[in-house]
A and B are shown apart, each in its own frame.
Chain A
């Protein structure tokens, strides 16, 4: 029995350490590979690196050059337009499809995977198909002409003022189904008793959704926002596959800008400074959000 007194003590202490030990490899990986690399990139952005990293200190010169480049302005304003429209349409379409699918639709199990599958495909796979579809010479416009609708016009991808909207279209195609799944999951989690009670009180379907259900979906909205903004910022293959940044440079976004300055233009310093600028923007948006989200749960 004597050992019994020390044993739990030892075991408790061990039990206290195990969770931290289990977490530590992941933490170490993230600290090193994410924060270490970010630190390195910040450092690079103050150097004269060109083809490979080099360590001549140049102060803020890269940032000054970056903000003088019209090219960067275009990329940033494209990202604003793109992410705004993309997040808006994905949310609206996702929510609408989820509400519709939630009406005891026959064939839901067929429709749901159809809505979801685009998320499974990369644009290396679907890029060619989309390019065809949007190209007036072979795609939708051509097909409509063949079917006898001669006046049909759809040449956005060739028009520098509209090309960014074709990128939005393809991006919404890819992820709105995923958003639908998130909202559908949210809807299915809502307590039906509450709805029935409200219905007894004579609330119409429309006001049921507006007053009660949408409010209940708040966590789903937030998750959708995180995932969509993450996808919007990282959208790279999408732009490369569809327009290659063209016509001209009209659909350049920060991700493609970063890539081309770092790897094809041999101006790694400017590439790094654009990456740091992007990261700071992400921090400004995400940290307050993460902070409020994580605090609430305590």
Chain B
């Protein structure tokens, strides 16, 4: 009897996977792009679809870099009411594909030749077990440093290319009474800085071993302690009031000349452009010192959810509209990122955008393109967050570097 009850309950709660509800002729899109610029960029996509007679049902859920949206998504999938397309990142896409929740886009992909134009490192997160399951929108890279040119010039600082030059620059700014590093104290922002620092200390092989292969020896190595020591140096160069600050407010500090540098992904560029600043003249973009050849990336994609077995014409139309070169160019010019396909012209992009596209192409060719740990493109969400815990605790002074290394090994082993 008891067993019977258990089974019934389980059956009730698990049940079959999704059944289609979205009305024919419409696509429902769950995303967290609600700010003015992003929404305007998405609107390009929406209008394109409406031109083909396909309605766009908008389901925005902002907050926490997509955390709220992912919670909603779980509820929707469990209810058998999955949206047509959902904004997704890295390992989340793979996890959903493994659950069997995603559609098979191979027909669209074959027709439009996605295999040839999308970099292999990115395909890893869009094509699971030989099936295309999501449509990549862009490639962000995270190992950028943004600097206020006027501040640097006034203090006689050239673009630093090594860690020592960078430290010297920070010291000069500090002496001049300027906050050397603009930073927002949120776990993901600390991890973003960590991405660049780790890449420069560990090198590409060490980065891969530590964050992608989760090799315990590398995670617990002396070089890792050096990474944390350098994080400590950066910590000593942020202002008092950094904790909890949003990243765009930190960017504003660089724009206004209150701070010299910010380590942040290329979405920060949009803030400079919005403020009417010109790359190369008012602000500088360069790779984190010691990572000139490497690119740590993350990519926004739209996962296509299975709508009852086959890909509807609307879903296919949405997927191909996302990959259309014109949309890729228009969207990424606004967003600060670079197109997910390599055959898009860089004509419409500014200096930093052109550099980003060139860097990406070069890194992809030379095997220097790696998924960003901080943005869920190196390891699964559980491991990523376990690393966040340690990095943010160290940055906030809870651990010294030696303890942080021990904790990192331990946290990863629990989360694996």
Contact present between A and B (CB < 8 A): yes
Query: In the bound complex, do residue B67 and residue A246 qualify as a contact, i.e. CB atoms below 8 Å apart?
Result: no
Most buried by B among A43, A52, A244, A259: A52
> Which candidate, B281-289, B356-364, B388-396, is the interface stretch facing chain A?
B388-396
Q: Inside 8 A of A264's CB, which chain B residues have their CB? A: 64, 67, 70-71, 381, 385
Q: Looking at the complex, which of B9-17, B114-122, B326-334 is the stretch in contact with chain A?
A: B9-17
Least CB separation from B239: chain A residue: A137
Q: Is B52 part of the binding interface, using a Cβ–Cβ cutoff of 8 Å?
A: no
Task: Report, as a range, how many residues of chain A touch the other chain.
Answer: 35 or more
Interface residues of B in 61-75 (CB under 8 A from A): 64, 67, 70-71, 74
Nearest-Cβ distance from residue A231 to partner chain B, whole angstroms: 22
Q: Is the CB of B14 within 8 A of A36?
A: no
Say yes or no: B415 contacts A39, CB within 8 Å.
no
Q: Considering the complex, which residues of chain A in the window 37-79 have a beta carbon less than 8 Å from any beta carbon of chain B?
A: 39-40, 43, 50-53, 55, 65, 68-71
Please tell me the number of chain B residues within 8 Å of chain A, measured between CB atoms: 40
With both beta carbons as reference points, the residue of chain B lying nearest to A243 in the complex is identified as B244
A145 at the interface (CB under 8 A from B): no
- Contact with A160, one of B240, B396, B407 (Cβ below 8 angstroms): B396
Given A53-B14, A155-B240, are A266 and B78 also a contact pair (CB < 8 Å)?
no
Task: Determine how close the nearest CB of chain A comes to the CB of B346; give it in whole angstroms.
Answer: 35
**Interface of chain B residues 361 through 388 with chain A (CB within 8 A):** 380-382, 385-386
The chain A residue with its CB closest to the CB of B396 is A248
Tell whether A171 is near chain B: CB-to-CB under 8 Å: no
- Shortest Cβ distance from A49 into chain B, in angstroms? 10
Q: Which residues of B contact A160 (CB under 8 A)?
A: 396-398
Query: What does the 1/0 interface line of B246-264 toward A look like (CB < 8 Å)?
Result: 0000000000000000000
Decide: A263 and B71 in contact? CB cutoff 8 A: yes
Which of A52, A69, A243, A248 is the one whose CB lies under 8 Å from B78?
A: A52
A250 at the interface (CB under 8 A from B): yes
Measured between beta carbons, the chain A residues less than 8 angstroms from B312 are none
* A265 close to B (CB within 8 Å): yes
Q: How far is B52's CA from A177's CA once the two chains are assembled, in angstroms?
A: 57
A267 within 8 A of B: yes
Q: A68-B414, A263-B74 are in contact. Are A246 and B393 (CB under 8 A)?
A: no
Asked whether, in the complex, the Cβ of B74 is within 8 Å of the Cβ of A246, the reply is no
Q: Across the interface, which residues of A come within 8 angstroms of B381, CB to CB?
A: 264-266
Given contacts A51-B74, A264-B381, contact A247 B13 (CB under 8 A): no
Given known contacts A136-B240, A265-B381, A244 and B186 CB-to-CB distance under 8 angstroms: yes
Verify B396–A250 contact, CB threshold 8 A: yes
Are A244 and B244 within 8 A (Cβ)? yes
Q: When the two chains form the complex, which single residue of A51, A71, A244 contacts B95, counting CB atoms closer than 8 Å? A: A51
Contact A246 B185 (CB under 8 A): yes
B35 part of interface (Cβ distance < 8 Å): no
Complex CA–CA separation, A50 to B395 (angstroms): 29
Residue pair B380, A266 in contact (C-beta under 8 Å): yes
Question: For residue A158, which residues in chain B have a CB less than 8 angstroms away from its CB?
Answer: 185, 240-244
A40 contacts across to B, CB distance below 8 A:
9, 13
Q: Check if B178 is an interface residue, CB within 8 A of chain A.
A: no
Q: Which of B45-94 contact A (CB under 8 A)?
A: 64, 67, 70-71, 74, 77-78, 92
> Is B96 an interface position by the 8 A CB rule?
yes
Q: Are B9 and A39 in contact (CB under 8 A)?
A: yes
What is the chain B residue whose CB lies nearest that of A263? B71
Within 8 A of B (CB), among A123-155: 131, 135-137, 155
**Complex A-B: 22 CB contacts under 8 Å:** A40-B9, A43-B6, A51-B95, A55-B10, A69-B414, A71-B389, A135-B241, A135-B244, A158-B240, A158-B241, A160-B397, A246-B243, A246-B396, A249-B393, A250-B396, A259-B71, A263-B71, A264-B70, A264-B71, A265-B381, A265-B386, A266-B380
A interface residues with partner B (beta carbon < 8 Å): 36, 39-40, 43, 50-53, 55, 65, 68-71, 131, 135-137, 155, 157-158, 160, 243-244, 246-250, 259-260, 263-267
Q: Give 20 new A-B contacts, CB below 8 A, not counting A69-B414, A244-B244, A263-B67.
A: A40-B13, A50-B95, A52-B99, A71-B389, A135-B241, A136-B241, A137-B241, A158-B242, A160-B396, A246-B185, A246-B396, A248-B393, A248-B395, A248-B396, A249-B389, A249-B392, A249-B393, A263-B70, A265-B382, A265-B415
